[in-house]
């Protein structure tokens, strides 16, 4: 009984290493945030898209789409956030809503086709 328990515990430990990441959804677009910029600044994607905000900066950043009120990605330093959204074709502006960040350069162009 004790041996079985140990064996199960070891298997669980092994299976947890490197196998617990969710595969990236198709069409994933990653935007990296630093102080005070996004990279890339011109992004092309499709009408069904998944955006990922990766914060490689030292302070909190978010990512919003101008004119789209029900979408935002928020990430603390060294963290990331992912969200899917359906957009009509067109050009959109991505920006960070933290006070002063957009003005400092945290803005990007999203081209949906
Ligand atoms: Cu910011």
- Residues lining ligand 1 (ion), CB within 5 A? 61, 96, 98, 101, 106
- CA–centroid distance, residue 62 to ligand 1 (Å): 6
Contact between 54 and 38 (Cβ < 8 Å): no
pLDDT in tens, the chain (113 residues): 555 555 555 444 444 455 556 667 777 999 999 999 999 999 999 999 999 999 999 999 999 999 999 999 999 999 999 999 999 999 999 999 999 999 999 999 999 99
What pLDDT shows up at residue 15? 45
- CA–centroid distance, residue 91 to ligand 1 (Å): 21
- CA–centroid distance, residue 35 to ligand 1 (Å): 7
- CA–centroid distance, residue 48 to ligand 1 (Å): 25
Q: How far apart are CA 30 and CA 51, in angstroms?
A: 6
- Each domain of the chain, given as residue ranges in start order, spans 23-112
Q: How far apart are CA 70 and CA 53, in angstroms?
A: 16
- CA–centroid distance, residue 2 to ligand 1 (Å): 52
Helix (H, G, I), strand (E, B) or coil at 45: strand
pTM for this entry: 0.78
Q: Which fold has domain 23-112?
A: Immunoglobulin-like (2.60.40)
């Amino acid at each position: 009984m004790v041996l079985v328990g140990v064996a199960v515990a070891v298997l669980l430990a092994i299976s947890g290493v490197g196998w617990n990441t969710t595969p990236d959804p198709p069409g994933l677009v990653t935007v990296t945030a630093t102080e005070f910029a996004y990279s890339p600044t011109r992004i092309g994607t499709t009408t069904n898209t998944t955006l990922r905000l990766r914060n490689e900066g030292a302070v909190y950043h978010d990512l919003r789409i101008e004119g789209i009120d029900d979408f935002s990605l928020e990430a603390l330093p060294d963290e990331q956030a992912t969200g899917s959204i359906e957009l009509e074709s067109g050009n959109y502006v991505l920006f960070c809503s933290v006070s002063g960040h957009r003005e400092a350069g945290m803005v990007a162009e999203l081209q949906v086709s």
